Copies of this chain bind each other. A is one copy, B any other.
């Protein structure tokens, strides 16, 4: 009990909702809890803030440690602080949303502890703490931002076809989109550039490859 204060302090954690698209479905990364509370339940990756790191630094460190994910888009989501959300002590968690390109989403070898797994957003297991609520909010935010920002590009590799991009939007928004209107819209917002290359696939007409104008930034549109 080496850390003492003149008034009570809560613990602070970050938890991260990492989305990716695998098998044409939106998935969330979960980690199996190996210690109480909620031992054996699935939970969001995350952990306690260290006093020498910033909040987003904590989120990135926890992801690197627990899931080996290092290069992803991260944004703060909301801070959850219900009094009884953790039975051990008062814990405030700053929740983040992250997006990772499917190709960069390898999972830790099965032997590794703790176990990690991608779950479809639509069929989540029973979750630890209030993590169900956090994921729901992140899902809403992703849906909303896909309509007025270039956030969806963070789910695709450096180069992609318009068909692949449309598929990402259809998965996020859970509805089919008109091909001609989608292409008109996405090309009109000045966020893409033709690479000059094509992707060839057996039995199909080759598709032009595109890349983001500014890969690292998520921009608001309209």
Are A10 and B49 closer than 8 Å at their CB atoms? yes
Residue on B with the closest CB to A9?
B9
Q: Does A2 contact B (CB under 8 A)?
A: yes
Q: Shortest beta-carbon distance, A192 to chain B, in Å?
A: 25
Are B55 and A92 closer than 8 Å at their CB atoms? yes
Docked pose: A18 CA to B55 CA in angstroms: 25
Q: Shortest beta-carbon distance, A46 to chain B, in Å?
A: 14
Copy total for this chain: 2
- Residue from B9, B50, B79 within 8 A of A5 (CB atoms): B9
- Residue from B12, B52, B55 within 8 A of A9 (CB atoms): B12
Q: CB-CB < 8 A to A94: which residues of B?
A: 79, 81, 92
Q: Does A202 contact B (CB under 8 A)?
A: no
Q: Shortest beta-carbon distance, A86 to chain B, in Å?
A: 12
**What number of A residues sit within 8 Å (CB to CB) of B?**
29
* Dominant SS among interface residues on chain A: loop
Docked pose: A98 CA to B81 CA in angstroms: 19
Docked pose: A50 CA to B12 CA in angstroms: 14
Docked pose: A94 CA to B81 CA in angstroms: 10
Q: CB-CB < 8 A to A7: which residues of B?
A: 3, 48
Are A79 and B55 closer than 8 Å at their CB atoms? yes
Residue on B with the closest CB to A58?
B81
Residue on B with the closest CB to A48?
B7
Q: List 12 A-B contacts (CB under 8 A).
A: A3-B8, A3-B9, A4-B5, A5-B5, A9-B9, A9-B12, A10-B49, A12-B92, A55-B81, A55-B92, A79-B79, A92-B92
Give 17 new A-B contacts, CB below 8 A, not counting A8-B51, A51-B83.
A1-B5, A1-B6, A2-B4, A2-B6, A3-B4, A4-B4, A8-B50, A9-B9, A10-B12, A12-B81, A52-B83, A54-B81, A54-B82, A54-B83, A55-B79, A76-B79, A92-B94
